Amino acid sequence: MEEVEWKLEDPYVYQTLSSIVGAHVAVQTTKFLVRGILKNAMPDHIVVEMGGNNFFIRTKEIVWVVPNPSYTLE
């Protein structure tokens, strides 16, 4: 069996996101904006529930995150 080396992409982002699991978030990725509830934070990805669907987003694709966003999109 092959030994797999596992690396934490960005430990500060993972630690911060882990502390706000369950909060409403706005997450800008390199492709699109996702707004919903942060359901889980793992070292390599997060799970955001939006409209009853789970979005699995790679941590390295995240541009910014706003916890408890209060602004509205126009």
User: How confident is the model over 30-66, as pLDDT tens digits?
Assistant: 999 999 999 999 999 999 999 999 999 999 999 999 9
Question: Is residue 47 domain-resident?
Answer: yes
Q: What pTM was estimated for this model as a whole?
A: 0.82
Question: Is residue 13 domain-resident?
Answer: no
Question: Is residue 41 domain-resident?
Answer: yes
Q: Provide the residue range defining the domain that includes 48.
A: 22-67
The per-residue DSSP string of the chain comes to -PPPP---S-HHHHHHHHTTTTSEEEEEESS-EEEEEEEEE-SSEEEEEETTEEEEEEGGGEEEEEES------
pLDDT band at 16 (very low <50, low <70, confident <90, very high): very high
Q: Which residues pair with 35 in a beta bridge?
A: 26
